[in-house]
Amino acid sequence: MTDSTHTHLLNHDGHIARVQGITVGHFTSQQRPTGCSVVLCPEGAVAGVDVRGAAPGTRETDLLHPSNLVQTVHGIVLAGGSAWGLDSATGAVRWLEEQGAGLNIGVGRIPLVPAAVLFDVMLGDMKIRPDAAAGYAACQAASSARPAEGSVGAGAGAVIGKIFGWQRAMKGGIGTASLTVRGVTVGALVACNALGDVFNPYTGQLLAGARTPDGQALLNARDALLHGLEPQPILAGSNTTIGVVATDAVLTKPQAHRMAVTAHDGLARSINPVHTMSDGDTLFALATGQSGQTLGMMTLSTMAAEVVAIATARAVLLAQSMPVPQQTVLPSWQELNHHSMRGERNE
């Protein structure tokens, strides 16, 4: 049932495009549930990454190590389509080059666009996945307006709570959030395709995930596992929560890396189990520096974890139910909550 804290999450009006120097765009396929999302910073942003899941699908993450040469990137791509979806970053590179963005190499510019993907190829024809044209289209759609959330972009084919089988899972999605403290903004964009369940980060209440065998209620996978219920075999890499946390604070490359690390605390507040052997959980950090100031890493890290937690919950709260071939409909939080409330009224 919707309580005041769920309402607080739903009414959160912050979003990642409030960060100075950031624009966001989605491409959503009309042929099957998949897509990609871009977070663009054409003027460059100091970047970091932290990969916690054991089955990641990524591109250009090594250049983000604090000891490596390149200091800034020009965009991040999040995509469905598993490893094939990494092609969408090529489209983003092409679009950014056309705008004159990128690392100056004398004879031209090379846009640097790291990427991460999630697994959604079980939904419909797996040969339909985000490609370079999809990444280019997402860039064309990018703006500083509030990004769409739920079952769009990289979250279009996201599914959560698959520990006890796809037939008992629920619909995931993509969400965003931001906070501003003393003139510095930190925002997050998170595509949640987690193996585990998703919780309200404020109350700990279970929002969505694995359902009971009859599909009518939430099971609580954590409690079921702790009571000895065996999970179903899960294809490695078939789950993942990926995202970007961005700020307009001035940061060094090691500080950007540390912000990516602490941002994962937000995933741990909203997802359980998280960072599993079957997840490829990856968070990127961007610092545009366009506010001209910083708050110190204690405050920035606290903000980063907070916005990631909120964005993860919103990804599920705003997702839409989806028919699944050869299965029943994958319900969303909205549908399961509606049925629960209707059942209470009928008692």
User: Hey, CA dihedral for 289, 46, 153, 238, is it positive or negative?
Assistant: negative
**Contact by Cβ (8 Å): 53, 281:** yes
Reported confidence tier of residue 336, pLDDT bands at 50, 70, 90: confident
Most confident of 31-35, 304-308, 317-321: 304-308
pLDDT at 3: 55
Angle between helices 297-317 and 253-270 (to 10 degrees): 40
pLDDT at 341: 44
Superfamily of domain 4-346 in CATH is: L-amino peptidase D-ALA esterase/amidase (3.60.70.12)
Burial profile 45-79: b = 16 or more Cβ within 10 angstroms, e = fewer: bbbbbbbbbebbbbbbbeebeeeeeebbbbbbbbb
pLDDT tens for each residue of 90-135: 999 999 999 999 999 999 999 999 999 999 988 888 899 999 999 9
More confident residue, 146 or 234: 146
Mean pLDDT (the chain) is 91
Using CA atoms, how far residue 315 sits from 45, 160, 285, in Å, is 25, 11, 19
Reported confidence tier of residue 146, pLDDT bands at 50, 70, 90: very high
Residue 281 has pLDDT above 80, yes or no: yes
Residue 2 has pLDDT above 80, yes or no: no
Reported confidence tier of residue 4, pLDDT bands at 50, 70, 90: low
d(CA 321, CA 329): 7
Percent of the chain with pLDDT over 70: 93
pLDDT at 232: 79
**Contact by Cβ (8 Å): 193, 226:** no
Count other C-beta atoms under 10 Å from residue 94's C-beta.
16
What's the CA angle centered on 281, arms 275 and 285, to 5 degrees? 125
More confident residue, 209 or 231: 209
Residue 346 has pLDDT above 50, yes or no: no
Percent of the chain with pLDDT over 90: 79
**For the residues 67-90, what does the mean pLDDT come to?**
96
Amino acid (1-letter code) at residue 213: P
Using CA atoms, how far residue 168 sits from 20, 56, 58, 147, 320, in Å, is 41, 24, 28, 29, 16
Domain extent listing, the chain:
4-346
Using CA atoms, how far residue 344 sits from 11, 214, 302, 337, in Å, is 24, 18, 38, 11
pLDDT tens for each residue of 46-61: 999 999 988 899 999 9
Distance of CA 324 to the CA centre of its chain: 22
User: Hey, CA dihedral for 76, 90, 146, 177, is it positive or negative?
Assistant: negative
**For the residues 221-231, what does the mean pLDDT come to?**
92
Burial profile 213-246: b = 16 or more Cβ within 10 angstroms, e = fewer: eeeeebbbbbebbeeeeebeebeebbbbbbbbbb
pLDDT at 347: 45
State the DSSP code for 147: P
pLDDT at 255: 97
pLDDT at 345: 40
d(CA 296, CA 298): 6
**For the residues 309-332, what does the mean pLDDT come to?**
86
d(CA 239, CA 231): 14
**For the residues 317-332, what does the mean pLDDT come to?**
80
pLDDT tens for each residue of 169-189: 999 999 999 999 999 999 999
Task: Single out the residue of 177, 150, 118 nearest to residue 315, CA to CA.
Answer: 150
With a CB cutoff of 8 Å and minimum separation 6, the contacts of 79 are 35, 36, 37, 85, 86, 88, 89, 115, 116, 117, 118, 130, 134, 135, 154
Count other C-beta atoms under 10 Å from residue 9's C-beta.
23
Residue 156 has pLDDT above 70, yes or no: yes
